[in-house]
Structure 1
Amino acid sequence: MAGFFESLFLAITLAVSLVVSLGITVPLIGALVRLRANYNPKALQLDPEGNVDVHTGPIVTSFFGMLQRVYRIEGWAGLYKGLMPTATATIVMTGFAVAAMDSRTLATHGRVDPPDVGVLAAFVYAVFGTLVALPAAIITYRSIVTPYRLPYFRPIYSLRILLTPTERRRPWILYLTPGLVAAQVLQIAYTVVVLHGLRRLLLPADNISPVKFGIYVAIEMASTTIICPLEVITTKLAIQRNHSTAEYNSVEQEVEDDAVEAPEYAEYSGQEEDVIGLRHEKDPYYGFADCVKRIVDEEGWQTLYRAWWVTVLAAILSALAAGAAIVQSMDVGHN
């Protein structure tokens, strides 16, 4: 009976944590994704036919500026775009961590931080995280940047808007989105193998040194130089759609609108502008290296570090959570 109440208390705690976490983080994640996805080249570009393409996105250089712009154009509903896919992915990842690894904290599909477990278990968690994170990132990021209003409880309808007919017929093609798997694998490998390994080395479960903890925090913060560009690249690649139209590249938008008629936020807000600008559908990124090169050439290397301080903050919070977990386990052991 005691075990039942303990499990019930854990379930209630995680549920409350999930609601509070999503209520706070979803608007912030939405602004971050839009800021990093916004396409704003430094100079005029040529379209595939050689004509000058003057399409650029709005010039928004700050995280809070994007947050304010989203609220002005799309209102509260726009701030919570991406809520359902984020919640679903979080529940799946947390359920796996609780059931398989006896974790007691929420897990997300953003930064895949494994629970404080062994190397093999962390690897299993990373593999599972990769399988879940990639389609979750695609659906979440697309639901955030789409101009269409997506209902919360009609997933099939929403997927018809977010995914192309090719992606719905062959959902595994999402894993073949050029460059996306490479970006996800590099990010998760660095987080799980490098940072998790250093955490176990510098912060053993039975002891914690202030000096070693400070070194670990510094390493987490310095890792922003690697993780932030990978997050930006992942965002830009995830919003590219796959299709099988012969006359178009495989990652470009569908030629037809898929006969989906959905209301746009502009119809409700009275605004005639989109929150962000996106790259022309006939000129996609062809892979990881091509994405890096084009971002640097067209938008500048600074684009790779948009909202870098958010990544630094996430690193600090991750380090503090690891330290707190060790202190808590030491207290339990002493008692």
Structure 2
Amino acid sequence: MRIHHLHETNVRTSPSLTAIMLGVGEIITLLVSLAISFAIFVPLTGVLVRFRAQYNPRGLQLDVEGTPQPHTGPVIRSYFAMMKRVYRIEGWAGLYKGLMPTLLSTLFVTGVILTFMDTPSPSHGRYHAPNTSLLGTLFYSIIMMLISLPTSIITYRSITTPFKLSYLNAAQSFRAILTPTERRKPWILYLTPGLLASEVLHIVIVVVGLGPLRRLLLPKPELGSYPDYSLTKLGIYIVVVLITTAVLSPLEVMSIRLAIQRNHASAEYNSVSQEIEGDAEDNTEFSGNEEDVITLRSESDPYLGLVDCAKRMVDEEGFSSMYRAWWITLLGGLGSVASY
């Protein structure tokens, strides 16, 4: 009885121990939720990136001598057809390409948020953007985009590369997805033609356009109460989401196209002629593959900017190429209603 009494006393008089136990529990919960999230969303995101990056020219292409050549690569016209193709050629390993950069980028961005931007108020395990003015929210969103942009580029390229990347050998992986110019001057990633313009425009539309309309039409319910939305206002907001999807979907497709377009010291160099000797020798493609999962546009004729990317995609692949998997963008817009 005395031992039990002393134990109870120690527990009552050791708030630091209780805090540590709660902290460990929160960390375990976070790790489990991250594991489940990665297991579900990494394959889905990988398929989405490949589908939007796939180059489907609708006409004859000219070779280096100007001779018309028919397109010989795969033609994938749906998200689920891409998923089936990835699994058939590369299996589960192919579906989980991009897992390591996704994990590292998540940890990096989360660390930046908790270190420099988190508020002292309790968040119950969730982080929310600071409640500030419209311009403050816009500035915050752009800063977060700039922080995460390099990791997003690396993730997209890791997903679309035909090489089997090592999970632990970062140097080897960087040699496969980054050009010597990008490795010597990492900041050049921010100068990728059209990419920053696409990302900033996307943020402006969401923060300045969609955000205020959502707060106007769908007021945030008070804590502990259920939302009481007007059906008319809800219908108007859904129409607004449909309209913004028509603009956001092409921006998201072009962002992927521009992000995987590697930067070279000179535009006439291709990915082979500019490589430092031995850079790609350790990289192997998925064993037994006789065909590539996707076809990427030639780096010898890059997009020169956001407008040039849009024009060439429409001219070369048709207007529908700008709306690949548009329904995912729409679901994201509609999902914001439930998470508001």
SS in 1 for 2:164: coil
The match for 2:80 among 64, 75, 78 is 64
**Separation of aligned partners in 2, 1:106 and 1:302:** 38
- 1:216 to 2:237 alignment: yes
CA-to-aligned-CA distance 1:191-220 (integer Å, 9 cap, x gap) = 223223333333444544312455434433
**Separation of aligned partners in 2, 1:29 and 1:106:** 22
Instruction: Rate the CA distance shift 1:7–1:201 in 2: closer, same or farther, 3 A.
Output: farther
Instruction: Rate the CA distance shift 1:180–1:199 in 2: closer, same or farther, 3 A.
Output: same
Contact 1:178/1:288, CA 8 A, preserved across alignment? yes
**Separation of aligned partners in 2, 1:95 and 1:214:** 39
SS in 2 for 1:286: coil
What residue in structure 2 maps to residue 117 of structure 1? Answer: 131
Q: Any residues of structure 2 matched to 1:41-56 within 5 Å, and which?
A: 41-47=57-63, 49-56=65-72
Contact 1:41/1:56, CA 8 A, preserved across alignment? no
What residue in structure 2 maps to residue 226 of structure 1? Answer: 247
- 1:300 to 2:318 alignment: yes
**Separation of aligned partners in 1, 2:70 and 2:239:** 43
Asked which structure has the greater CA Rg, the reply is 2
Q: What percentage of aligned pairs have identical amino acids?
A: 49
Cα displacement (A) at 1:42: 0.6
**Separation of aligned partners in 2, 1:290 and 1:136:** 24
Q: Any residues of structure 2 matched to 1:1-335 within 5 Å, and which?
A: 1=15, 4-47=20-63, 49-98=65-114, 100-102=117-119, 115=129, 117-119=131-133, 121-207=136-222, 208-211=227-230, 212-245=233-266, 248=268, 253-258=271-276, 259=278, 260-266=280-286, 268=287, 270-322=288-340
Extract unaligned runs of 5+ from structure 2.
Answer: 1-14
Contact 1:57/1:277, CA 8 A, preserved across alignment? yes
SS in 2 for 1:210: coil
Q: Normalization by structure 1: what TM-score?
A: 0.84
CA-to-aligned-CA distance 1:127-181 (integer Å, 9 cap, x gap) = 2322133212211111011111111122222111110111001000000111111
Cα displacement (A) at 1:105: 6.7
Cα displacement (A) at 1:32: 0.7
CA-to-aligned-CA distance 1:16-41 (integer Å, 9 cap, x gap) = 22111111011111111111111111
Instruction: Rate the CA distance shift 1:79–1:210 in 2: closer, same or farther, 3 A.
Output: same
CA-to-aligned-CA distance 1:205-239 (integer Å, 9 cap, x gap) = 45443124554344334321111101100111111
Contact 1:56/1:277, CA 8 A, preserved across alignment? no
Instruction: Rate the CA distance shift 1:106–1:262 in 2: closer, same or farther, 3 A.
Output: farther
**Separation of aligned partners in 1, 2:242 and 2:332:** 9
What residue in structure 2 maps to residue 333 of structure 1? Answer: none
Contact 1:94/1:106, CA 8 A, preserved across alignment? no
Q: Which amino acid aligns with 1:242?
A: N
Deviates more, 1:88-97 or 1:280-289: 88-97
SS in 1 for 2:273: coil
Extract unaligned runs of 5+ from structure 1.
Answer: 108-113, 323-335
SS in 2 for 1:317: helix
Cα displacement (A) at 1:265: 3.5
Output the aligned Cα RMSD: 2.4
Q: Which amino acid aligns with 1:219?
A: V
**Separation of aligned partners in 2, 1:122 and 1:136:** 22
SS in 2 for 1:173: helix
**Separation of aligned partners in 2, 1:280 and 1:223:** 31
